[in-house]
Amino acid sequence: MGQNFSCSIQDEHGWFSAVQFGDLNSVNTLLEQDPNLIKRTTVYDHQSALHIAAANGQIEIVTMLLENRSVNPDSLNRHKQTPLMLAAIHGKISCVEKLIEAGANILTFDSLNGRTCLHYAAYYGHSDCLQTILSSARTSHVSASWGFSRFVNIRDGKGATPLHLAARQRRPECVHILLDNGALVCASTGGYGFPGSTPLHLAARGGSMDCIRELLAWGADRLNQDASGRIPYTIALKHKNRACAALLDPLSAEPLVWPSPLKFISELNQDAKALLEQALMEVNKERERHILEASGCSVSSPARSYTTDIDDNVSEASDSQLCCICFDQVCAIEVQDCGHQMCAQCTLALCCHNKPDPVTATLPEPICPFCRSNIARLTVVKVKVTADQELNLYSSSKLQKSRKSRNLSEGSSSFRGLSAVPSFGRMLGRGSGRVSFDRDCDKTVKVEGSG
């Protein structure tokens, strides 16, 4: 199924060739001569004109065909694949959107692999198609009848979820989108890859550092075993992915993990969520650098950029804008409804290091360290630049360094951004309820968690 979708058939009218190459005039002319052409399929694969147009991204042809009531948006080819599946396979986002708008069923399974359009979008790494399909699932009957979480974790004929496929095929953007929409990070497969494999096993097999970063940040367990008792570290060594093995080594430092059991991140304002996400990845990036240097592997940067900056003209800041917990980073997050402010790293420390209640086995809700009230919502701080100008920390273009204290930055009151996080790199251990910050001035500030 390449870019030039196969139409090798007895096509005496040139009908399928005109559809394939988007010759709208010829298509209309041929339909006027023989309206029954619209129902015709290829001899071997039983591809309809809609299949061929969708696979080749011919949005004008797709639109014209869908306007005809006799055209079924869920028509099946020889492998019971729909036009929507073929559009997702080839990453034709405009056709995906148009077909979904026309009522194409996102829950159809093919007979080739028992996969849906969501599986194929994840497998081939088309993140825009993946996001469109997921957005449709939230607002369509699928969410009500099937359940959105069930759809995100839908399994193919061999027991693989879309997350398994994205991790195995080295698709970090798709991995991130799926995890952000509730994909189970430690789900095991049936017969795909190797029985009992988790997405982390498959990422280790594929050798994708970016996928491993995403999975670890969302709580993937490095000690999970497949059906043969192998952990991801063993898989990475077997396939000679040394850098991946270094991160997956059970003896290496644990990464900082999203507090997914709290269902906290999903309740965030989108800008605040992105800011915390950047901070978390920067913290783990520093940890990763130390691990890779110790193992003698080359250090690679994440595929996605997590640096957020503030414009150069924002150089003056008062001490009141620095976080009162660590006295190092600028306050970027505001707690609602009390209005207290913290830096993104300290916010993560509060949310990611709470211990479960031993009686109820549930994690306590995070609370504001200043007034001890429950954190209902987080938003991004807007910094006052002039008397009538505000600057959003999330949407600005360049970030300057902040002073740690009055004594350490004489003559300068610029900000240090989220990209400078070595002070947040060493931690006492996940779930300890306490985070230790190593300072250049040989001071240690400890933040108590709410657990």
pLDDT at 387: 46
pLDDT tens string 84-135: 999 999 999 999 999 999 999 999 999 999 999 999 999 999 999 999 999 9
Average pLDDT, rounded, for the chain: 77
pLDDT at 286: 78
pLDDT at 316: 40
- Model's pTM, two decimal places? 0.73
The neighbouring-strand residues paired with 217 are: none
pLDDT tens string 251-278: 888 887 776 544 455 566 778 778 887 8
Q: What angle do CA 304, 248, 156 make, to 5 degrees?
A: 70
User: What architecture does CATH give domain 15-261?
Assistant: Alpha Horseshoe (1.25)
pLDDT at 13: 64
* CATH 1.25.40.20 residue spans of the chain: 15-261
Residue 56 CA to residue 95 CA, distance in Å, equals 9
pLDDT at 432: 32
**Residue labelled with tokens 């061929």:** 52
pLDDT at 203: 97
The verdict on domain 267-294+316-448 having CATH code 3.30.40.10 is yes
**Cβ distance 186 to 232 under 8 Å?**
no
pLDDT at 300: 56
pLDDT at 86: 98
**First and final CA of the chain: distance in angstroms?**
54
160-180 burial, b at 16+ Cβ within 10 Å, e below that, comes to bbbbbbbbbbbbbbbbbbbbb
pLDDT at 381: 80
Residue 322 CA to residue 403 CA, distance in Å, equals 8
Which residues of the chain carry a pLDDT beneath 50? 1-4, 6-9, 261-263, 305-319, 354-356, 385-390, 394-451
Half-sphere exposure of 48 (CA within 13 A, CB side): 24
Among 319, 338, 339, CA closest to 330: 319
Cis peptide before 210 (omega within 30 of 0): no
Tokens of 254: 């644990």
Beta carbons within 8 Å of 131's beta carbon, 6+ residues apart:
177
pLDDT at 290: 77
Residue 378 CA to residue 226 CA, distance in Å, equals 39
* CATH 3.30.40.10 residue spans of the chain: 267-294+316-448
